């Protein structure tokens, strides 16, 4: 497994993840007489928990903790960079600020938060923790190896969202989601290398999802969606720009050190 091509491994990983995402868990949960909201988010939580467990297990098996931002030997640096995406959370709050929130149940909020955090951890451990680390090991010696690796993992992360076509026939909206997911994924990929920590990024990812999902809570009027709106692309463009600025300042020697540690560390 250690000598497998990262591209082949990515294809294998995405195939496995797609199988998990397409598991008929809803058919089992529906027998429990859950509401549509609970059915969606309980099912999502179960699937993402499986992805997280698999990603973390493989990541540890391949000794990628150091390069993936999970090593306790590396301190959390440049913490202020983790605050950049907060503007997206604020925009999420603004999406419900004019809504009547008196009918919202705390249990639904907790379920939504837990589901979104599970998504954050699953996707970050898979795409930034596991896949990006494998591409870094392959391309770190290249002049633009760090940029190449973060870009590839970001593109894969964006394309992964094409799976939403299985439940959304609005192709344009899904393609727009693919693009802004790439922007976010690139920023997070750069962030994990600059700050040395993956878990804060997973939490940030989950909170962004949470605040933008508040408008779908039962008890709030159904939010009207703009079909094919490119607004999310403009909203996440600052993250792409920030990532491009920060990636130039990543210490390549530090990345090489982490890769060597992953090769030398034996269980």
CB 255 within 8 A of CB 136: yes
**Cα distances (angstroms) measured from residue 175 to each of 2, 18, 172, 221:** 33, 18, 5, 26
For residue 226, the model assigns a pLDDT of 53
For residue 221, the model assigns a pLDDT of 57
For residue 177, the model assigns a pLDDT of 93
- The encoded tokens of residue 49 equal 């928990």
Residues 6+ apart with CB under 8 A from 170: 227, 228
pLDDT average per 10 residues of sequence, the chain (267 residues): 83 93 87 87 96 96 94 94 96 86 90 97 97 94 94 96 86 93 98 97 97 88 60 95 96 92 64
Q: Is the dihedral of CA 94, 97, 98, 103 positive or negative?
A: positive
For residue 267, the model assigns a pLDDT of 46
What is d(CA 130, CA 107) in angstroms, rounded to the nearest whole number?
A: 33
């Amino acid at each position: 497994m250690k000598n497998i091509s990262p591209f082949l491994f990515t294809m294998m990983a995405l195939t496995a993840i797609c199988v998990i995402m397409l598991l008929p868990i809803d058919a089992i949960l529906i027998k429990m007489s859950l509401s549509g909201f609970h059915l969606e988010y309980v099912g999502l939580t179960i699937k993402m928990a499986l992805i997280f467990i698999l990603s973390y297990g493989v990541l540890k098996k391949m000794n990628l903790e150091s390069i993936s931002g999970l090593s306790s030997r590396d301190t959390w640096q440049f913490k202020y960079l983790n605050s950049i995406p907060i503007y997206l959370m604020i925009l999420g709050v603004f999406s419900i600020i004019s809504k009547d929130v008196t009918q919202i149940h705390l249990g639904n909020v907790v379920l939504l938060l837990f589901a979104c955090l599970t998504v954050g951890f699953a996707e970050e451990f898979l795409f930034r923790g596991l896949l990006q680390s494998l591409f870094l090991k392959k391309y770190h010696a290249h002049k633009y190896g760090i940029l190449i690796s973060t870009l590839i993992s970001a593109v894969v992360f964006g394309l992964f969202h094409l799976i939403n076509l299985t439940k959304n026939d609005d192709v344009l909206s899904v393609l727009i989601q693919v693009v802004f997911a790439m922007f976010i994924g690139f920023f997070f990929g750069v962030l994990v290398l600059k700050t040395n920590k993956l878990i804060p990024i997973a939490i940030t990812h989950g909170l962004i999802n949470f605040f933008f999902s508040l408008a779908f809570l039962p008890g709030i009027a159904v939010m009207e969606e703009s079909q094919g709106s490119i607004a999310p692309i403009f909203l996440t463009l600052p993250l792409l720009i920030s990532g491009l600025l920060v990636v130039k300042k990543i210490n390549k020697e530090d990345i090489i050190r982490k890769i060597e540690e992953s090769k030398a560390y034996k269980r």
